Amino acid sequence: MKVLANIFLVGSAVTCTAAFSIISSPSVFTRATTKASSALFAQEQESNARRECISTMAAYAAAISVFSPTNEANADEGASSEKLIEFTVSNLEGVEGNEGTFTVKLRPDWAPIGAQRFVDLTEKNFWQDCRFFRVLPGFVAQFGINGDPNVQSTWRSRSLKDDPVKVTNSRGTMVFATSGPNSRTTQLFINYSDRNAFLDKSGFSPFAEIVSGMDVVDKLYGGYGEGAPSGKGPNQGLIQAKGNAYLAPSYPKLSYISKVVTK
């Protein structure tokens, strides 16, 4: 539409110029009538032509303003900013009853495949009671294994194609975890640090960002450290097999998602 609008504008300008030059020429009319009548007729025709051309050009100018690159960019930005998801998190700092919220803004312009998977999971209430099972302050907070092994098993083989990395892994960005190329399923992490740019080269593509409540993310319980077998934290294999039946009694201080609202 932008190209068509520009063509219409150029075409209108040429047509108006031609009309004015022809109607302004006395020789066109002197053959058919007197000088006085031809002058009056010329003035009337010129006036009508000018009004018509001005009206036409105004219409095309309005069309161009609607389809201008600036407005299209704003529309795209608006579409990508419409999806805001608010997470309520319980057990902040490992304290029962300590709650807070953070809000995620989807950025499909960064990673459309990842953003759509996040939407799909959210619509199926996948995040409810999910534990932040790997929280490493200064690095990442990881979550995304459902507390019900039956639910988790339905997603295990539904891996995604990779999105190219368009933005760096900086503080507050949300990213799908991977085990290699084209292996993203449900696990996510939130970057704690701007020093995580080294993850870009490994194909970790941010698809969303925390727009409010990053201070709440900073309070996710990280006392258990790295997961087994490297550390004393939860074993991901056991989380997949047993879910919250394993996590709740063995790692009771883990922060978890208690409510999700799409705005």
Q: What is the 3-state secondary structure (H, E, C) of the chain?
A: CHHHHHHHHHHHHHHHHHHHHHHCCCHHHHCCCCHHHHHHHHHHHHHHHHHHHHHHHHHHHHHHHHCCHHHHHHHHHHHHHCCEEEEEEECHHHCCCCCEEEEEEECCCCCHHHHHHHHHHHHCCCCCCCECCEEECCCEEEECCCCCHHHHHHHCCCCECCCCCCCCCCCCEEEECCCCCCCECCCEEEECCHHHHHHHHHCCCEEEEEEECHHHHCCCCCCCCCECCCCCECCHHHHHHHCHHHHHHHCCCCCEEEEEEEC
Q: What is the mean pLDDT of residues 87-96?
A: 98
pLDDT of residue 182: 97
pTM to 2 decimals? Answer: 0.70
pLDDT of residue 98: 98
pLDDT of residue 122: 97
pLDDT of residue 161: 97
Comparing C-alpha atoms, which of 161, 198, 193, 197 is closest to residue 178? 161
Residue 58 pLDDT > 60: no
Q: Is pLDDT larger for residue 35 or for residue 19?
A: 35
Residue 162 pLDDT > 50: yes
Residue 134 pLDDT > 60: yes
Residue 139: pLDDT band (50, 70, 90) is very high
Residue 31 pLDDT > 60: no
First to last CA, the chain: 32
- Rounded mean pLDDT of the chain? 78
Contact status, residue 261 vs residue 85, Cβ threshold 8 Å? yes
Percent of the chain scoring above 70 in pLDDT:
69
> Rounded to whole angstroms, how far apart are CA atoms 259 and 256?
9
Q: Is pLDDT larger for residue 156 or for residue 68?
A: 156
pLDDT of residue 11: 34
Contact status, residue 261 vs residue 86, Cβ threshold 8 Å? yes
> Rounded to whole angstroms, how far apart are CA atoms 187 and 176?
6
Comparing C-alpha atoms, which of 18, 11, 24, 21 is closest to residue 56? 11
Structure tokens at 194: 């701007």
Q: Is pLDDT larger for residue 11 or for residue 55?
A: 55
Residue 82: pLDDT band (50, 70, 90) is low
Radius of gyration of the chain (CA): 31
Residue 249 pLDDT > 80: yes
